[in-house]
Structure 1
């Protein structure tokens, strides 16, 4: 195979221009918190009806089980989602996590994470 026959390398770098506002983000693309609509006052996040949170003992991993899809959760995602019981509002979830993890950027990260989950339709 000559250099002319070699397919071009896949460019995995971020594009120079952001996607159009109505284009949903790619699955593993970090999304800035300001790209989400503001959470309604008193929002009490809960998993969507068709979504469940499970722990896989074999893989020692937390999973978000969706219709026809399983998402392996990373980091503190499962801890956050376990607090989304529909009884606590977003402020209570943030306060709980701030007391458990002092110094962590909870006030910024948790609303952004839950906003992303809401955008995906996994949290209502």
Structure 2
């Protein structure tokens, strides 16, 4: 799977910046991204993506896991778009 915008994305191993910690909120069926100044509520899809951004998984592996988890295909463009957003927000290294 290649990103339409950046072929080097497939070799990346995204990782949350050390100042952030992802917390699963079972009651709210979502995730919270915690950081020293506060928190950000995430929907389940965003949380599942960030939960896999631990620096050990290749981007293609993350996409494959998410497609299996959600029983969907062709999620690559959505995952790339979210990861670009997360990078712009400073959540990822």
Band of TM-score, shorter chain? 0.7 to 0.9
1:55 is the counterpart of 2:21 = no
Give the distance between the partners of 1:57 and 1:39, measured in 2 at CA: 36
Give the distance between the partners of 1:84 and 1:47, measured in 2 at CA: 6
- Higher share of residues assigned strand: 2
Q: Greater CA radius of gyration, 1 or 2? A: 1
- Higher share of residues assigned helix: 2
Superposed counterparts of 1:1-124, under 5 Å: 38=6, 40-41=8-9, 42-56=11-25, 59=28, 61-124=30-93
CA RMSD of aligned residues (A): 2.5
Alignment gaps of 5+ in structure 2: none
Alignment gaps of 5+ in structure 1: 1-32
Give the distance between the partners of 2:73 and 2:85, measured in 1 at CA: 19
Whose relative contact order is higher, 1 or 2, with alpha carbons under 8 Å and at least 6 apart? Answer: 2
